Amino acid sequence: MKIGIIGSGAFGTGLGVALALDGNDITLWGRDGDAQAAIQTTRQNPKLPDVTLPENMTFSAVLETVFSRDIILLSIPAQTLRPFLADHVTPLSGKYLVACCKGIDLERMTGPASTIRNMIPDAIAAILTGPSFATDIARGLPTALTLACAVDAAGEILQTALSTSALRLYRTTDTVGAELGGALKNVLAIASGVAIGAGLGDSARAALMTRGFPEMQRLAAALGADPETLAGLSGFGDLVLTCTSDQSRNYRYGLALGQGKAFDAGTTVEGVATAGAVRQLARDLDIDLPICTVVADLTSGQTDVMAALNALLSRPLKEE
């Protein structure tokens, strides 16, 4: 099958490798023409080192090469998704558009699949999310993800098209739940990194993960999702992975915060923007989300690590 991927970063490339090795014809688009030409020639992507790219992967800076595909994976940051869609409504209309990013749009307070539906109503909107690192996918290591599409028949088509021998996709129609699981776990990954960076230990991290999970479910329910969706791969599964692995950018960012160290400003940390969005949603919907709110205050510079930890530890005692 011919599949297009918008975004030739680590995750987009990793997905492309997995799909290409399964026999698909893959075209990836990246903004930098020189970089795409170099990847095409060397069969190496600096963002995914030690992985030789299959010959049935094509890298290009010409968008039309991807727009010609019926299935297009959107592997670009959540905060750039809406403006990208706004600039290319006509060529993307009628396509299967699968968001492969995690976050909440700060202007519209919507997740990636909802953003696609709002911007391009006649496209088939879906989101691919769950516990996964680009290197694992590219190396052919077993990975299971959630494929969420509100139209179940279309979701079944995408599930068949995008599953491989090592990449197993589970289908749901609860796109809002899948969106929120992928977004909120990044906020809790920052909190977990802060706990470890500040020397609070693994027990504190486990407590943050455990108490943070109901926050994910509460917000999901308030926004019309099924809280049980968050108990699956797109929520709990992704939460475990990103809160416990150094491969997680959000966890590493929190780790640096906890240690009082600078973090690479060029690295995308979706959890920072998401934390701010979640804090606003908690206020608007009058929902108690203490961990997410403290992370938002911390990442926006409104509090420091010790004050943030004290705010959580001084909360009233209650039943679990």
Give catalytic residue positions.
185
Distance (Å, whole) CA 154 – CA 239: 27
C-alpha Rg value of the chain to the nearest Å:
19
Distance CA 42, CA 39 (A): 5
Alpha carbons 216 and 181: distance in angstroms, whole number = 7
Which contacts qualify for 224-228: CB closer than 8 Å, 24 or more apart? 224/176, 225/174, 225/176, 225/177, 225/180, 226/174, 226/177, 227/177, 228/177
DSSP state of 60: E
* Strands 124-129 and 143-149, bridge-based pairing: antiparallel
For residue 172, the cross-strand partners are 148
Q: Is 224 exposed, middle or buried (0-12, 13-18, 19+ CB in 10 A)?
A: exposed
